[in-house]
Amino acid sequence: MGVDCGFDVYPSLSSQCQSLYEAFLEEVIQKYKDALHPNTGEPLIQIIGTPETKNAYVFFNVGEGPVLPFRSEYFLRFESKLVSRDNVMPYLKEVYLIARRYFPDNVHFWASGTSPTLVRLLDKIPDIREEEGTVREDHEYVYKALQEMRRLAEEDQERSTQINPEKEAA
Protein backbone atom coordinates (compact mmCIF):
# COMPACT_ATOMS: atom_id res chain seq x y z
CA MET A 1 0.00 0.00 0.00
CA GLY A 2 1.04 3.53 -0.45
CA VAL A 3 0.62 6.49 -2.67
CA ASP A 4 1.72 6.29 -6.29
CA CYS A 5 1.95 9.43 -8.41
CA GLY A 6 3.08 10.21 -11.89
CA PHE A 7 1.78 10.86 -15.34
CA ASP A 8 0.73 8.80 -18.31
CA VAL A 9 1.35 9.58 -21.94
CA TYR A 10 -1.85 8.92 -23.82
CA PRO A 11 -2.35 8.75 -26.72
CA SER A 12 1.11 7.24 -27.02
CA LEU A 13 3.81 9.07 -28.93
CA SER A 14 4.84 7.58 -32.24
CA SER A 15 8.32 7.33 -33.71
CA GLN A 16 7.42 10.38 -35.85
CA CYS A 17 7.55 12.42 -32.60
CA GLN A 18 11.16 11.40 -31.96
CA SER A 19 12.76 14.78 -32.76
CA LEU A 20 10.31 16.65 -30.51
CA TYR A 21 10.79 13.98 -27.84
CA GLU A 22 14.58 14.41 -28.08
CA ALA A 23 14.15 18.15 -27.41
CA PHE A 24 12.02 17.28 -24.36
CA LEU A 25 14.66 14.81 -23.10
CA GLU A 26 17.45 17.33 -23.67
CA GLU A 27 15.61 19.90 -21.55
CA VAL A 28 15.11 17.38 -18.73
CA ILE A 29 18.74 16.23 -18.89
CA GLN A 30 20.04 19.82 -18.91
CA LYS A 31 17.87 20.65 -15.90
CA TYR A 32 19.10 17.72 -13.80
CA LYS A 33 22.56 16.82 -15.20
CA ASP A 34 24.45 18.56 -12.37
CA ALA A 35 21.84 18.02 -9.66
CA LEU A 36 22.69 15.85 -6.69
CA HIS A 37 20.38 13.72 -4.59
CA PRO A 38 19.56 15.82 -1.50
CA ASN A 39 20.14 12.94 0.94
CA THR A 40 22.95 10.87 -0.60
CA GLY A 41 24.87 13.46 -2.62
CA GLU A 42 24.90 11.09 -5.62
CA PRO A 43 23.99 12.31 -9.11
CA LEU A 44 20.23 12.71 -9.43
CA ILE A 45 20.07 11.25 -12.94
CA GLN A 46 22.05 8.63 -14.80
CA ILE A 47 21.99 7.84 -18.49
CA ILE A 48 21.85 4.07 -18.82
CA GLY A 49 22.90 2.58 -22.14
CA THR A 50 23.78 4.38 -25.34
CA PRO A 51 21.14 6.92 -26.42
CA GLU A 52 21.17 5.63 -30.02
CA THR A 53 20.02 2.17 -28.91
CA LYS A 54 16.50 1.02 -28.12
CA ASN A 55 17.33 0.05 -24.54
CA ALA A 56 18.74 3.38 -23.30
CA TYR A 57 16.98 5.48 -20.68
CA VAL A 58 17.43 8.27 -18.15
CA PHE A 59 17.23 6.91 -14.60
CA PHE A 60 16.16 9.19 -11.75
CA ASN A 61 17.88 8.25 -8.49
CA VAL A 62 14.88 9.17 -6.28
CA GLY A 63 11.82 7.33 -5.03
CA GLU A 64 11.40 4.09 -6.93
CA GLY A 65 13.66 5.24 -9.75
CA PRO A 66 11.37 6.64 -12.43
CA VAL A 67 12.81 6.39 -15.95
CA LEU A 68 12.55 8.22 -19.25
CA PRO A 69 13.37 6.01 -22.25
CA PHE A 70 15.32 7.52 -25.16
CA ARG A 71 12.75 6.22 -27.67
CA SER A 72 9.51 8.21 -27.91
CA GLU A 73 7.35 5.16 -28.58
CA TYR A 74 8.43 3.63 -25.24
CA PHE A 75 7.51 6.72 -23.21
CA LEU A 76 4.16 5.77 -21.67
CA ARG A 77 4.46 6.61 -17.98
CA PHE A 78 6.68 8.44 -15.50
CA GLU A 79 5.85 7.38 -11.95
CA SER A 80 7.03 6.53 -8.47
CA LYS A 81 5.64 5.53 -5.14
CA LEU A 82 5.90 8.38 -2.66
CA VAL A 83 8.48 7.07 -0.20
CA SER A 84 9.49 8.54 3.15
CA ARG A 85 13.25 8.48 2.43
CA ASP A 86 12.96 10.75 -0.64
CA ASN A 87 10.75 13.63 -1.64
CA VAL A 88 10.13 12.49 -5.21
CA MET A 89 7.09 14.70 -5.84
CA PRO A 90 9.04 17.80 -7.01
CA TYR A 91 10.76 15.72 -9.71
CA LEU A 92 7.53 14.05 -10.86
CA LYS A 93 5.88 17.45 -11.01
CA GLU A 94 8.71 19.23 -12.84
CA VAL A 95 9.15 16.51 -15.48
CA TYR A 96 5.35 16.54 -15.95
CA LEU A 97 5.33 20.31 -16.46
CA ILE A 98 8.15 20.06 -19.00
CA ALA A 99 6.39 17.20 -20.81
CA ARG A 100 3.16 19.19 -20.83
CA ARG A 101 4.86 22.01 -22.73
CA TYR A 102 5.95 19.58 -25.46
CA PHE A 103 2.95 17.22 -25.48
CA PRO A 104 -0.02 19.14 -23.99
CA ASP A 105 -2.68 16.74 -25.25
CA ASN A 106 -0.81 13.57 -24.29
CA VAL A 107 0.30 13.88 -20.65
CA HIS A 108 -2.06 13.29 -17.74
CA PHE A 109 -0.93 13.50 -14.10
CA TRP A 110 -2.56 11.08 -11.65
CA ALA A 111 -2.41 9.94 -8.04
CA SER A 112 -3.38 6.52 -6.72
CA GLY A 113 -3.95 5.73 -3.05
CA THR A 114 -4.88 9.28 -2.08
CA SER A 115 -7.18 12.04 -3.15
CA PRO A 116 -6.03 13.68 -6.40
CA THR A 117 -7.65 16.88 -5.11
CA LEU A 118 -5.39 16.79 -2.04
CA VAL A 119 -2.31 16.22 -4.19
CA ARG A 120 -3.33 19.10 -6.46
CA LEU A 121 -3.75 21.42 -3.48
CA LEU A 122 -0.50 20.45 -1.79
CA ASP A 123 1.67 20.45 -4.89
CA LYS A 124 -0.26 22.84 -7.16
CA ILE A 125 -0.25 20.36 -10.05
CA PRO A 126 -2.48 21.62 -12.85
CA ASP A 127 -4.89 19.34 -14.71
CA ILE A 128 -4.50 16.30 -12.47
CA ARG A 129 -6.95 13.51 -13.24
CA GLU A 130 -9.67 13.04 -10.63
CA GLU A 131 -9.84 9.30 -11.21
CA GLU A 132 -7.79 6.66 -12.92
CA GLY A 133 -8.13 6.73 -16.69
CA THR A 134 -9.02 3.95 -19.04
CA VAL A 135 -6.98 0.78 -18.88
CA ARG A 136 -4.22 0.77 -21.45
CA GLU A 137 -4.25 -2.37 -23.55
CA ASP A 138 -0.57 -2.12 -24.42
CA HIS A 139 0.75 -1.70 -20.87
CA GLU A 140 1.97 -5.29 -20.44
CA TYR A 141 4.07 -5.01 -23.59
CA VAL A 142 5.52 -1.69 -22.50
CA TYR A 143 6.46 -2.85 -19.02
CA LYS A 144 8.08 -5.95 -20.49
CA ALA A 145 9.97 -3.71 -22.93
CA LEU A 146 11.14 -1.45 -20.08
CA GLN A 147 12.28 -4.48 -18.06
CA GLU A 148 14.15 -5.79 -21.09
CA MET A 149 15.75 -2.35 -21.65
CA ARG A 150 16.96 -2.31 -18.05
CA ARG A 151 18.27 -5.86 -18.29
CA LEU A 152 20.15 -5.14 -21.53
CA ALA A 153 21.61 -1.92 -20.16
CA GLU A 154 22.77 -3.70 -17.00
CA GLU A 155 24.37 -6.47 -19.08
CA ASP A 156 26.08 -3.85 -21.24
CA GLN A 157 27.36 -2.05 -18.17
CA GLU A 158 28.65 -5.31 -16.66
CA ARG A 159 30.44 -6.19 -19.90
CA SER A 160 32.10 -2.78 -20.07
CA THR A 161 33.40 -3.06 -16.49
CA GLN A 162 34.70 -6.64 -16.72
CA ILE A 163 38.40 -7.12 -17.17
CA ASN A 164 39.35 -9.15 -20.23
CA PRO A 165 41.17 -12.26 -18.85
CA GLU A 166 43.37 -12.57 -21.99
CA LYS A 167 44.72 -9.03 -21.57
CA GLU A 168 45.35 -9.65 -17.87
CA ALA A 169 47.40 -12.78 -18.60
CA ALA A 170 49.57 -10.93 -21.14
Four-residue CA torsion sign, 124, 103, 149, 57: negative
Whether 117 is in a domain gets the answer: yes
Whether residue 84 is contained in a domain is answered as yes
Residue 170 within any structural domain of the chain: no
| 136 belongs to a structural domain | yes
pTM of the model: 0.72
Give the model's pLDDT for residue 26. 95
In a domain, 126, yes or no: yes
- Indicate the number of domains in the chain: 1
**Residue 135 included in any domain:** yes
Is 167 inside a domain boundary? no
Residues 7-66: tens digit of each pLDDT: 999 888 988 889 999 999 999 999 999 999 988 899 999 999 988 888 899 999 999 999
Q: Provide the residue range defining the domain that includes 153.
A: 4-162
Residue 169 domain flag: no
**Other Cβ atoms closer than 10 A to 86:** 20
Longest distance between any two alpha carbons in the chain, whole Å: 66
164 or 81, higher pLDDT? 81
